[in-house]
Amino acid sequence: MKYLKHSVLLITTAVLMASCHEKNKKGASEKLAETHSLSKKYWPNGAQLVISVSMQFETGGQPEGAESPFSGTPLPKGQPDLPAESWYRYGANEGIYRMLDLWKKYDIKVTSHVVGSAAEKYPEIAKAIAAGGHEIAAHGITWENQWNKNYADELRFVKDGADAVEKITGQKAVGYNSNWLRRSPNTLKVLQELGFLYHIDDLSRDEPFITKVSGKNFVVMPYTLRNNDIVNIEGKNWSPDQFLSQLKFEFDRLYEEGASKRRMMSISFHDRIGGTPAMVHAMEEFIKYTKEKQGVVFMRKDDIAKMIVNDPKTPIDNSEEKYNN
């Protein structure tokens, strides 16, 4: 009887150990599958979320009567709006340099769309942006409409701006931004002819995509109105802490979505607005917030475009086909 009890005990122990082993094996398999799922990457560089900052340099390129905090009561044509002009000069005197200090502190590279005449008026600023390792992109020769230009005039307008900036900084622009995003039906064909790689005048996605222009691939790097200082700080009189909350909310959702699809967060700063002390402080708080997560990468737009232009995972969207052929 003693031996029988001992045998039963041994068999029971063996069954329990086998059961535990199977359960542990199953748990390990499930954990491995979960890890594999979480580690699936949708960006060629393995990031979960890519953030791209625009730093528009426009001071000195604005026309008479350009938008300003005082434009609700515009002065008669020919009468200089001296306070408005001083507001623009803030971007050159303070804003750009304050933002450059912030990017340097956190080793972030941004894209600066530079108006050609702004670079000509303040060449030392354009050179400082380029010297910081930031992308110099094109923004026209002056800050004015191009949607109403014919093909030849628009081509000259874009080329003159890009040539002016290249002459000063040594960087050939491959990215483009129209005034208030309002391009013409010919703009992408003009950019394709001039050798540009991408444009940002599009709001249709939260990731870059390819569109066909004259039968060839052209990259679209979607812009933002939601995370844009000129729209929300100037246009809606948000406070910097409201802007910071917007950035955090946007980041949280896009980061979560980035686990299962390609996501890009776009942020837009303008020299005279984003370069104010409170806005730079808000942006620094946001940068610190992003560092709490893994797989977050800040990138220049040209680097993103080059990385995804030949990636088969990049969506192709020909919604504007009738204009681009």
What is the C-alpha to C-alpha distance for residues 325 and 315, in angstroms, rounded to an integer? Answer: 19
Pick from 74, 66, 125: nearest CA to 275 = 125
8-state DSSP, 179? G
pLDDT of the residue at 189: 97
Q: Which two tokens stand for residue 113?
A: 């769309």
- Report yes or no: 226 and 267 within 8 Å, Cβ to Cβ: no
pLDDT of the residue at 77: 85
- Report yes or no: 277 and 263 within 8 Å, Cβ to Cβ: no
8-state DSSP, 256? H
pLDDT of the residue at 20: 46
Q: Which two tokens stand for residue 263?
A: 């996501």
Maximal C-alpha separation, the chain:
115
Pick from 95, 319, 61, 72: nearest CA to 209 = 319
What is the C-alpha to C-alpha distance for residues 208 and 316, in angstroms, rounded to an integer? Answer: 9
pLDDT of the residue at 74: 81
> Which residues make Cβ contacts (< 8 Å) with residue 157, sequence separation at least 6?
140, 141, 146, 149
Please tell me whether residue 283 adopts helix, strand or coil conformation: helix
pLDDT of the residue at 75: 86
Distances (CA, A) of 141 to 47, 58, 168, 180: 35, 10, 13, 14
Tens of pLDDT along the chain (325 residues) come to 444 444 444 444 444 444 444 444 444 444 333 333 445 789 999 999 999 999 999 998 888 878 788 767 788 888 888 999 999 999 999 999 999 999 999 999 999 999 999 999 999 999 999 999 999 999 999 988 999 999 999 999 999 999 999 999 999 999 999 999 999 999 999 999 999 999 999 999 999 999 999 999 999 999 999 999 999 999 899 999 999 999 999 999 999 999 999 999 999 999 999 999 999 999 999 999 999 999 999 999 999 999 999 999 999 999 999 999 8
pLDDT of the residue at 249: 98
